[in-house]
Structure 1
Amino acid sequence: MKIVADQKIPFLEGVFTGSATLIALPAKEITPEVVHDADALLTRTTIHCTEELLNNSSVRFISTCTIGYDHIDTKYCQEHGIQWQNAPGCNAGSVGEYFAGVIAALTQYKGYDFKDKTVGIVGVGNTGKAVLNVCNALGIKTLLNDPPRARAEKENSSFVSLDTIASECDVITFHVPLYKEGEDKTLHLADANFFHKLKKKPLIINACRGPVIDNTALLEAKQNGLISDYVLDCWEKEPEINPELLKECAIATPHIAGYSYDGKSKATRMGVEAIANFFHIDINTTGIVPPAPESPEIDLSTFATNPIEQAILHAFDPMEKDAIMRSMPDKFEWMRTHYKHPREFMAYTIINCPSHLQAPFKALGFEIK
């Protein structure tokens, strides 16, 4: 049995030993000739699983170590008997903690005050729920928009319309998949029409898919005073970045919100387990373990102000990534490939924590000593 994998998927060494031959290559080297006699593909979004790659191959199963699957031609796969599986929720915690890092950085470095503000969460699946958990831990009011869930959970009155989000929220953060058509189309969900409905000049955050926000309309909204600021991790037409869009951005990062070591290890585990379950083979997952952080203890007695925000920034500081991106905007993919993956909050222990702060730290996922 032959499995072809993207070389950048971590923790694969020894996983398939004794059960399958693993061929790990750079994405650009995974060609029709390479996959011709493969049984399975283990992919990221960098490998486009289309007819061009799959035609006349023996591939029976595609496992992508990502939440998104728009790099897989699902229609072609269905028509040719190729099954596939994504890794839903694999990096949800990482995206939630990216949001926490953004809130902490804007508070600590730029003087934002999120007390008495309302955050609108657009898309309340796995990642949206993680963001909701962060808001609850920090005591920030939220409004939730998720039309598919609203239809499925008719008795649940907690969801509001996108127009309500536009009129009532001080922060609007997007966590939806990219759907290019259909009832729940999200391509350019935030377009010029959306921005003109905004009432409170909100902060806009995109950590899902670049084309969910019309970037031209976003820039115009900032220049015309319809929004106060924006934070982008996902960019339309990435890796090509509009220099003016980058210049106006409050925090800019190269699509790494879901790139924690924990998210990566979970994605790999889900990806290889999907292959094992499909082909009924044995695998060894004991090596899929993220490394310990360099400084796993956070001493709150060293912080004079904003202890929660500073502890968050100890674990993940988006401004460090922002500085790198501004210094080399033409190296978008290089920055993603060479990214130093952070550990999630669960890997850190808070010491000298006052009793009144223990509940929020625990809710965020930190250990307390």
Structure 2
Amino acid sequence: MAKQRLSVVVTRRLPEVVEARLAELFDVKLRESDTAMTRQELQQAVKECDVLVPTITDQIDNALISQASGRLKLIANYGAGVDHIDTETARQQGIMVSNTPGVVTEDTADMTMALLLAMTRRMPEGIAKMQNSEWEGWSPTALLGGRISGRRLGILGMGRIGQAVARRANAFGMQVHYHNRRRLRGETEEELKATYWESLDQMVARMDVISINCPHTPSTFHLMNARRLKLLKPDAVIVNTSRGEVIDENALTRMLRAGEIKGAALDVYERGAEINPRLRELDNVVLLPHMGSATVEGRIEMGEKVIINIKTFDDGHRPPDQVVPSML
């Protein structure tokens, strides 16, 4: 007798090749429109499937998980971050959670450097002049930015992405510094030419550029709060390609408006797509719509990891990328 196929619900549109493979392997319900599920749709989904494949736009909280039927056994997240999933409640309900670590490392590090360069070399202003037909020719004093070679880069969070940023920064001639929950091994520090700071306050006060590359957890929420932001040098730049909640966005906006920080380049925001309108108005910011992992290759690899996690679970084994609350 043939084994019954797992019932899988996918909450967002995924690359076609990923959806096709999911349909080959499982009894899958795919999303027809590229919009986030409503709360009611999520509630229905957790009641009818064996495996839920959510993304960062879905809040899989205590109340939602508590409504799941005994059928739901795996939440196979499409993405590395799981701060939108109540992993502890899932564990208590006997539901495994998996994610897709490592896939977005190089793409996000590339975007970090792109934002750093865009901010320090005033690229958005140059693009705007060209698009608005305002450029009247080269001038020795027009749109003068800053050279990044020799500048101090302070990396907040030295995991996979932070280390990838450090390698790129070294190639640009920057001085690499970092703060992390745990200090790296000596040979890794030597390879990355990275200087460790036990005190985050002391590090941020001395850097020319701060790059946020740590996850959002209860301990990192508003890690860059108003008090710590005030420690930054007036000519410092802050770049965030990690999670918006790590920075107090209102405090950052106030300081940027007052000229107390030179600039910010952001790909993520504290309240998702609800960006502070005062932040949008500023000339000393570069804002992107969460594009850090947006490469065709990365999104397909992410889907492949989801499929491996589900298939391994279906075969009676623990998903290779299972998330355990104590890991966070």
TM-score by length of 1: 0.69
Q: Who is 2:10 aligned against? A: 5
Secondary structure class of the residue paired with 1:216: helix
3-state DSSP class of the match of 1:120?
strand
Aligned match of 2:121 = 107
- Secondary structure of the 2:220 match is coil
Q: Kindly report which structure 2 residues correspond to 1:44-83, keeping only aligned pairs within 5 A, or say none.
A: 44-54=55-65, 55-57=67-69, 58-83=71-96
Matched, 1:23 2:33: no
**Equivalent in the alignment of 1:278:** 313
Kindly tell me: are residues 265 and 221 of structure 1, through their superposed partners in 2, closer, same or farther at Cα, counting changes over 3 Å? same
Distance 1:48 1:204 in 2: 28
Aligned to 2:105: 92
1:179 counterpart residue number: 217
Q: Is contact 1:170–1:200 with CA below 8 Å preserved after alignment?
A: no
* Alpha-carbon distance between aligned partners in 2 of 1:189 and 1:233, rounded to the nearest angstrom: 17
Instruction: Check whether the contact 1:168–1:200 (CA below 8 A) recurs between aligned residues.
Output: no
Alignment partners' CA distance in 2, 1:257 and 1:16: 25
Question: In structure 1, how many angstroms separate the alpha carbons of the residues matched to 2:7 and 2:99?
Answer: 20
- Whole-angstrom CA distance in 2 between matches of 1:143 and 1:128: 11
- Residue by residue over 1:192-251, the C-alpha shift from the partner in whole angstroms, topping out at 9 and shown as x without a partner, is 110222235310111111111111111222233331111111112221121211122421
Partner of 2:324: none
Which residue of 176, 196, 199 corresponds with 1:159?
196
* Residues in 1 aligned to 2:315 and 2:204: alpha-carbon distance in whole angstroms: 49
**Paired residue type of 1:251:** V
Q: Counterpart in 2 of 1:318?
A: none
Alignment partner, residue 261 of structure 1: 296
1:201-212 equivalences under 5 Å are: 201-212=235-246
Match of 1:14 among 16, 20, 38: 20
SS in 2 for 1:41: strand
Mapped contact 2:116–2:239 kept (Cα < 8 A): no
In structure 2, the CA distance between the partners of 1:210 and 1:138, relative to structure 1 (3 Å rule), is same
Structure 1 counterpart of 2:281:
247
| Alpha-carbon contact 1:124-1:144 (below 8 Å) kept | yes
In the alignment, the residues of structure 2 paired with residue 128 and residue 165 of structure 1 have an alpha-carbon distance, to the nearest angstrom, of: 15
Deviation sequence 1:23-72 (CA, Å, 0-9, x none): 11253154322332311111211222234433242110111111110111
Structure-2 change in CA distance of 1:56 and 1:96 (3 Å): closer
Question: For residue 25 of structure 2, what is the amino acid of its counterpart?
Answer: S
Distance 1:48 1:131 in 2: 29
Q: Structure 1 unaligned segments of length 5 or more: list them.
A: 282-369
Alpha-carbon displacement from aligned partner over 1:121-155 (angstroms, at most 9, x marks no partner): 101112111211210221211101112x22x7599
Tell me: CA distance 1:128–1:215, structure 2 relative to 1, closer, same or farther (3 Å): same
Deviation at 1:4, TM superposition (A): 0.6
What is the CA RMSD across the aligned residues, in angstroms?
2.2
1:205-244 matches, cutoff 5 A: 205-244=239-278
1:191 alignment partner AA:
N
Query: CA, structure 1 residues 278+252, in 2 after alignment: closer, same or farther (shift >3 Å)?
Result: same
- Look up the equivalent residue of 2:293 and give its one-letter code: G
CA distance in 2, matches of 1:145, 1:257: 22
Task: Tell me the distance in 1 between the aligned counterparts of 2:62 and 2:51.
Answer: 15
Q: Cα gap change, 1:222/1:72 in structure 2, threshold over 3 Å: closer, same or farther?
A: same
Q: Tell me which amino acid in the other structure corresponds to 1:4.
A: V
Cα 1:87–1:203 change in 2 (3 A) is: same
Tell me how far 1:176 sits from its aligned partner: 0.8
- 1:200 and 1:141 mapped to 2: Cα distance? 19
> In percent, how many aligned pairs have the same letter?
27
Name the count of aligned residue pairs.
275
Match of 1:125 among 142, 152, 159: 159
Q: Is the 8 A contact 1:2 1:38 kept in 2?
A: yes
CA shift at 1:17, angstroms?
Answer: 4.4
Q: TM-score, normalised by structure 2?
A: 0.77
Residue equivalent to 1:343: none
Shift of 1:13: 3.1
Counterpart residue identity of residue 255, structure 1: H
In 1, distance between residues paired with 2:286 and 2:314? 44
With over 3 angstroms needed to count, the CA separation of the structure-2 counterparts of 1:121 and 1:79, relative to structure 1, is same
* 1:21/1:33 CA distance change after superposition, 3 Å: same
| 1:35 and 2:46 matched | yes
Alignment of 1:319-358 (within 5 A): none
Q: Which residue of 2 aligns with 1:296?
A: none
